[in-house]
Structure 1
């Protein structure tokens, strides 16, 4: 890990490199960058609870005060950085992970901070760091999670048959490497499910790798919506919804349907003052996806429940529809 991190330093400047650790240390990203700072002798700025509780404003003030050159950030923080007034002249790169970052948010960040690299990464507690964008050229590949990291082997397989898939084909991502866990303590049943017969860790993520070696994370396999035998990734529809200017945030969830099995419905947060209608939202999505992926119902809500890392709390989404008009579909 130390050798790989050292190799990525284009122009080492002892004393100048300062990392603001915005990810918790129990998170794989926070753990990695804590070790990286120790291994390379870099200054690591750790936020106190008081600063963290102030949200994006606290993060930005810490970054400005300590003139950090690098920082980790969850998607909500990246979005917040584009909306707050600040002076971050020393900042060179932001490493973002933990949840998908909408394309519109990434593009807005690049316009707001043209000289700062927004480096998307992907990993898990069980596998450690799996991929990361390196350098400005890779950071321009919006939508991807970068290329596979050093000392990591990956393959894409059909999640039903286990058959290896080729470039551009979507399937489950399997990982192997020295940072991958040896197993869950005292849980043989979970371990039997987590690994295949050759020792590859099953991530449970639907992914594909393009012809240039960039990894794209489509969605969690267990969150796919089963519509008439088709599999519909909620995250894909959420990105389409977020491309609508009148939409602040969105989440897509399955809803039981007698004929189709499940149908995709959307929870949408509108821009203040927006009068965009359900029909307009449905038409916007329908024009950009295959017919079986179309949104069948839209509910306008005040907010989408999310974790501090920016992941949608999907189990809580049903609370919005249990007693609403969707319950009568």
Structure 2
């Protein structure tokens, strides 16, 4: 795959669009990344950046006030890596992780990365059924989990080594004395090796394991370096996004790489977030869109008004686009805070577009411009033709950040990534005449509940396994606080008396809380095409028009 020179005379310097190829090119400076054959782990790449960035920053755990200065991080990571190596872990093995955010999670990630072990983090709220599927996908040889997750892991059938995070055993593993010569980390790992398996539903079906490489993450970090602003003191990030999700996963690594303090608050709690902003003088606050909504809507006004916001400089929002009305409310409520949106997929490692600088932050509704080393196309879904600025179509992207593939699911990867490296996002978008990207709608059928992906097919499969349900379909229902909420349309068997509460409870027992059905409507039949495909738009129209008003 070759990225066209952005200095070509056929490329518009205002928006990066090439009239000849119909490709949009990044307007950011090109960032150097190692070639695919290089021997370099993401850990060593990050430590190289830290060596050139003197810092007084720390990893801070707000729940127990545990602080790890960055000056200690390389030694702790090396010590833990030595202990992991003594567990007979080797390059290509997989480690399953179940933990809320803490200062130990980035340490564990970096140690595992350094010896070539693949990290596969999961949501602590995942059900036994979901954990069982993840284990079948990633095939871990070891698991690092909290005490609360041990029984769930055992119920899911995991029989290999389990290490409890924050136990005496784990603490001792970080204190193993190492002179730095016991483990030659730099010569073990190729940038093309898989570094992480993160979970996404892609555009269809059940949970999928997305394989990312060291080079994928390096390219994402390299692209963000040029957008950094010079500071007299390190920034202080409070990352509310979970470190098992691609959003929080990349942000925690980015904070360490750039020498910024990183505050972890465990499981998200609005009150704890607000007190931590004051206590640790937080400057940068990455949030999911529902939290931005919670800050500007009236329900939490007393808490928000009681908070000292003077340290805060920037709020990041990712996972789903913010509505213009919410952006307007935010700017009125926090006139001295920049609101920065970004856009990306698990399959693109991190954001492929983001806002950078004061001017870009004034463009209402955009998710920014393409990151460095990124190309994009806006493709007419009907004709497959590339479209110029101000035209809506499916967004396709290409670059070194595109995933290696799905675990044991090459066929599905082929439906998303073509032979030229273009990844089809499934999102309806357009670029304006200045190269700003705007998200219009989703062509794919995913439901976005509080930034989490909820695949309708997974919930439909569960519903249809109930003996009293003949057919079922799940749609996104608009929700002011969550963005979208899963709503089920159910066809009952004759003589069945199953009710809405029973349907909700049946699903809730088998999925994580964010996947639960929030609404249920009983109907006589599910509308379908001649080929049997569910007409979800018809169901959405039914729900919004009031036909399904008795909910």
1:39 aligns with one of 253, 257, 277 = 257
In structure 2, the residue matched to 1:261 is: none
Match of 1:24 among 224, 242, 252: 242
Tell me the residue number matched to 2:226: 7
Q: How does 1:52-71 map to 2 (within 5 A)?
A: 52=268, 54=269, 56-71=270-285
Aligned with residue 379 of structure 2, among 143, 157, 177: 157
Aligned mates of 1:89, 1:163 — CA distance in 2:
49
**Deviation digits for residues 240-295 of structure 1 (CA, Å, limit 9, x no counterpart):** xxxxxxxxxxxxxxxxxxxxxxxxx9977xxxxxxxxxxxxxxxxxxxxxxxxxxx
Aligned partners of 2:373, 2:360: CA distance in 1, in Å?
19
In the alignment, the residues of structure 2 paired with residue 267 and residue 181 of structure 1 have an alpha-carbon distance, to the nearest angstrom, of: 30
- Bigger relative contact order (CA 8 A; separation at least 6): 2
Q: In 1, are the aligned partners of 2:315 and 2:340 still within 8 Å (CA)?
A: yes
Give deviations 1:190-225, integer Å, cap 9, x for gaps: 01211123221110101110101010111111359x
Please give the secondary structure, in 1, of the residue aligned with 2:430.
Answer: strand
- Give the paired residue count: 247
1:4 deviation in Å?
A: 3.6
Q: Which residue of 2 aligns with 1:238?
A: none
* Counterpart Cα distance in 2 of 1:188 and 1:266: 28
Distance in 1 (alpha carbons) for counterparts of 2:279 and 2:489: 38
Question: Does the CA-based 8 Å contact 1:19-1:45 persist in structure 2?
Answer: yes
1:197 aligns with 2:415: no
- TM-fit CA distance, 1:174: 0.6
Q: How does 1:1-329 map to 2 (within 5 A)?
A: 1-15=220-234, 17-49=235-267, 52=268, 54=269, 56-82=270-296, 83=301, 84-85=304-305, 86-127=307-348, 128-223=350-445, 304=479, 310-316=482-488, 319-322=519-522, 326=547
Q: Secondary structure at the match of 1:312?
A: strand
Change (3 A) 1:136 1:164: same
CA distance in 2, matches of 1:317, 1:116: 42
Shift of residue 315, structure 1, vs aligned partner? 4.3
Please report how far the alpha carbon of residue 312 of structure 1 lies from its aligned counterpart in structure 2 after TM superposition: 1.2
Kindly state the Cα deviation for residue 63 of structure 1 after the two structures are TM-superposed: 1.4
SS at match of 1:71: strand
How does the TM-score come out when normalised to structure 2? Answer: 0.42
* Structure 2 unpaired stretches of 5+: 1-219, 449-474, 491-518, 524-542
Contact 1:321 1:327 (8 Å CA) reproduced: yes
- CA shift at 1:5, angstroms? 3.0
In 2, Cα distance between equivalents of 1:63 and 1:106: 21
- Counterpart-to-counterpart distance in 2, 1:317 and 1:101: 27
Distance 1:190 1:73, change over 3 A: same
- Distance change in 2, residues 1:43/1:267 (3 Å): closer
Q: Deviations over 1:294-317 (max 9, x none)?
A: xxxxxxxxxx397xxx44134448
